[in-house]
Amino acid sequence: MSKSELERFREMSVAEFFAKYREVAGFSNPVRALYQTVRELVENSLDATDGHGIAPEVRIYIERIDSDRGWCRVTVEDNGIGVPPTVMPEAFGKVLFSSKYVLRQTRGMYGLGVKAAVLYGQVTTGNPVEVQSTTRGSSYIYAKKLYIDMKRNEPVILEEAQFKKNVSWHGTRVSLIIECDWQRAKSRILEYIRRTAIIAPYADILIQTPDGEVLYFPRTTKKMPKPPKTAKPHPHGVDVETLKTMLKATKAKTLLEFLEVEFQSVGRQSALEFLKSIGLRPTMKPKQLLRGENGALVVAMVEAMRSFKFRAPRSDCLSPLGEELIKVGLKRMFNPEWVDAVTRPPRAYQGHPFIVEVGMAYGGSIQPSEEPLLLRYANKIPLLYEEREDVSYKVLSDVNWKQYDVEMPAPLVVLVHVVSTKVPYKGVGKESISDVPELEAEIRNGVLELARRLKRFISAKEREAEVMRKILVLSKYIPEIARSLKVLSKDPGSWKPLEPGEERDIVDALVSLVARNIELPRRGDDSGRSVEDLIRSIISEVRVS
């Protein structure tokens, strides 16, 4: 074989990979890249705040620094827990380095987001990332300028400094210079921020645009969702490699103890039953399992764990928003005539716990459209791209709205929020969710439950409109009829023209007669509107006009 026929092999680092195939992480062009940069930075800021019980204050500044070349500086500042100086270089300069590789609901999960943005900045403008950060207890603010050595996937620090802290601020400020297209990214970015404000009404968000505009979304509630706890793995969710790692690392002396201590949802009784079902001694040493040929024992154990009936995964590692906050967010943005929300009970797919929340808003300032406006969220992140690929879109397109008395085009908004320790995204750009059957079923349950409530509202509203028409007609005639009755009932001998208001007693009698025979349909939101008051107010208006 001649030399030229041989293929040339070499290894590529993960940093090089994401720099080269940046579209994989959502950085496909200057429009998407700007959107994705803002998103990754904002999501890190929100994780560092609401994920730790801090009411978020997030400031986003986008400045044009070279309009010929389309360069922007994107800066995001937060009041979060901050990044300790020792891990700062890797957190911002090593792809797949993260504090979120634990079983807890977070927005980030791949350890990629901010580094994908840093790499993009690096390859398009050659500029490093600038980070300033200070943790809650620290008396210094640490500042570093760094870039990523792509061949080695390691941070390279260009400049660093530390300043004595004379402010009470704790948090992080990240600044990047990237090639971007603000004009075309503008509407998506603002929509992203708006939708973030819907799902996090307890956050205080400000964005300054290259056009010099400042958009401010003040917090509308002090109520915050409970921060998620970190959970142990559920036996249904582990694979062969994970189990091997756990067996190697455990301090447990026996298999029984291993199962009880290292997993969630496994009690002594179920551990004993499980071991019996696969014929393993409870007193066996965990490391012994690793000895079988090709890990055969580990594989067998994983398979058995999947099919054994353990308790369902715990859901305290999840932080759903709650029905109240969803309604607050939807009301603020759409000022709807009707709004409702439901948080479904926790469920699991492949050992990963999840909760589905659905919100629905109707009427008011919502623009009617042929399809309901779908607001998708995962772990409190708004998802804007790839709508048609998403499981929620699939569920919505199966709904026959006519059946729920909704005539399209209708002013209808549907919000779907999925929270999980592992959201089954279709790609690392985190834009759409796969149609995992358990998830799809829960979304459908939530949507249909609210659709039924909406139907009740719409039919009550229609009935009410009908009754109102009746009341209006009757009210208009009451003064006329009262007057004629008064005239007729007068003693003809003593006849003289009626004084104004002389027929009042008959009006009163007629009003209560009508009121007694008409009932307004209950709408749930109205309290104590009486038919009698309604008629009186109509009569007085008719008189005046």
Return residues touching ligand ADP (CB under 6 A): 40, 44-45, 48, 78, 80-83, 91, 98-100, 108-115, 172
Burial environment of residue 210 by CB neighbours within 10 A (0 to 12, 13 to 18, 19 or more) = middle
Q: Which is nearer to ligand ADP, 115 or 234 (CB)?
A: 115
Beta-bridge mates of residue 216: 206
Is the bond preceding residue 409 a cis peptide, omega within 30 degrees? Answer: yes
264: left (phi over 0), alpha (psi -120 to 50) or beta: beta
Q: Which is nearer to ligand ADP, 114 or 515 (CB)?
A: 114
Please choose which of ligand ADP, Mg ion, none residue 91 contacts, taking the beta carbon within 5 to 8 angstroms, the exact cut-off set by kind. ligand ADP
Rounded to the nearest whole angstrom, what is the least distance from the CB of residue 277 to Mg ion in the complex? 41
Which of 30, 113, 346, 353 contacts Mg ion by CB under 5 A?
A: 113
Q: Choose among 287, 445, 281: nearest CA to 357.
A: 445
Chain position whose Cβ is nearest to ligand ADP: 108
Asked if residue 196 binds Mg ion (CB under 5 A), the reply is no
Rounded to the nearest whole angstrom, what is the least distance from the CB of residue 208 to ligand ADP in the complex? 18
Rounded to the nearest whole angstrom, what is the least distance from the CB of residue 112 to Mg ion in the complex? 7
What's the angle, vertex CA 61, arms to CA 37 and CA 227, rounded to 5? 65
Span from 42-50, 339-347, 497-505, 514-522 in contact with Mg ion (CB under 5 A): 42-50
Q: Choose among 325, 317, 409, 328: nearest CA to 371.
A: 409
**Is the four-CA dihedral 197, 200, 205, 208 of positive or negative sign?**
negative
Rounded to the nearest whole angstrom, what is the least distance from the CB of residue 101 to ligand ADP in the complex? 8
Rounded to the nearest whole angstrom, what is the least distance from the CB of residue 293 to ligand ADP in the complex? 37
Which of 108, 336, 363, 411 contacts Mg ion by CB under 5 A?
A: 108
Tokens 């992140």, residue?
A: 381
Q: Which is nearer to ligand ADP, 186 or 352 (CB)?
A: 352
Rounded to the nearest whole angstrom, what is the least distance from the CB of residue 382 to Mg ion in the complex? 15
Instruction: Report DSSP letters for 46-75, one per residue.
Output: HHHHGGGTPPPEEEEEEEEEETTTTEEEEE
Q: Which is nearer to ligand ADP, 33 or 298 (CB)?
A: 33
Rounded to the nearest whole angstrom, what is the least distance from the CB of residue 346 to ligand ADP in the complex? 23
Pairing of strands 373-378, 412-420: parallel
Please say whether the beta carbons of 289 and 297 come within 8 A: yes
Q: Which is nearer to ligand ADP, 108 or 329 (CB)?
A: 108
Span from 2-10, 89-97, 113-121, 208-216 in contact with Mg ion (CB under 5 A): 113-121
Tokens 């496994």, residue?
A: 266
**Is the four-CA dihedral 373, 379, 384, 386 of positive or negative sign?**
negative
Span from 14-22, 37-45, 384-392, 395-403 in contact with Mg ion (CB under 5 A): 37-45
Q: By CB under 5 A, what part of segment 120-149 binds Mg ion? A: none
- State in Å, rounded, how far the first CA of the chain is from the last one: 103
Q: Which is nearer to ligand ADP, 40 or 503 (CB)?
A: 40
Asked if residue 320 binds Mg ion (CB under 5 A), the reply is no
Distance CA 127, CA 67 (A): 16
Q: Which is nearer to Mg ion, 108 or 237 (CB)?
A: 108
Please choose which of Mg ion, ligand ADP, none residue 100 contacts, taking the beta carbon within 5 to 8 angstroms, the exact cut-off set by kind. ligand ADP
Rounded to the nearest whole angstrom, what is the least distance from the CB of residue 170 to ligand ADP in the complex? 10
Q: Which is nearer to ligand ADP, 110 or 401 (CB)?
A: 110
Q: Which is nearer to ligand ADP, 96 or 284 (CB)?
A: 96
Q: How many residues line the site for Mg ion (CB under 5 A)?
A: 3
Q: Which is nearer to ligand ADP, 167 or 488 (CB)?
A: 167
Please choose which of ligand ADP, Mg ion, none residue 341 contacts, taking the beta carbon within 5 to 8 angstroms, the exact cut-off set by kind. none
Rounded to the nearest whole angstrom, what is the least distance from the CB of residue 88 to ligand ADP in the complex? 8
Please say whether the beta carbons of 464 and 417 come within 8 A: no
Which of 44, 75, 420, 432 contacts Mg ion by CB under 5 A?
A: 44
Asked if residue 49 binds Mg ion (CB under 5 A), the reply is no
Please say whether the beta carbons of 467 and 521 come within 8 A: yes
Distance CA 305, CA 234 (A): 9
Helices (H), 359-414: 391-397
Rounded to the nearest whole angstrom, what is the least distance from the CB of residue 327 to ligand ADP in the complex? 29
Reported residue count of the chain is 545
CB proximity list for 484: less than 8 A, separation 6 or greater: none
Rounded to the nearest whole angstrom, what is the least distance from the CB of residue 197 to Mg ion in the complex? 19
CB proximity list for 65: less than 8 A, separation 6 or greater: 71, 72, 73, 177
Q: Which is nearer to ligand ADP, 173 or 347 (CB)?
A: 173
Pairing of strands 129-134, 140-149: antiparallel
Cα-based distances in Å from 18 to 26, 92, 118, 156, 314: 10, 14, 11, 17, 35
Rounded to the nearest whole angstrom, what is the least distance from the CB of residue 39 to ligand ADP in the complex? 10
Residue 539: other Cβ atoms inside 10 A: 18
Span from 100-108, 239-247, 248-256, 473-481 in contact with Mg ion (CB under 5 A): 100-108
Q: Which is nearer to ligand ADP, 114 or 150 (CB)?
A: 114
Please choose which of ligand ADP, Mg ion, none residue 110 contacts, taking the beta carbon within 5 to 8 angstroms, the exact cut-off set by kind. ligand ADP
Eight-class DSSP state of 27: -
Instruction: Report DSSP letters for 502-518, one per residue.
Output: TTHHHHHHHHHHHHHH-
Interacting residues toward Mg ion by CB under 5 A:
44, 108, 113
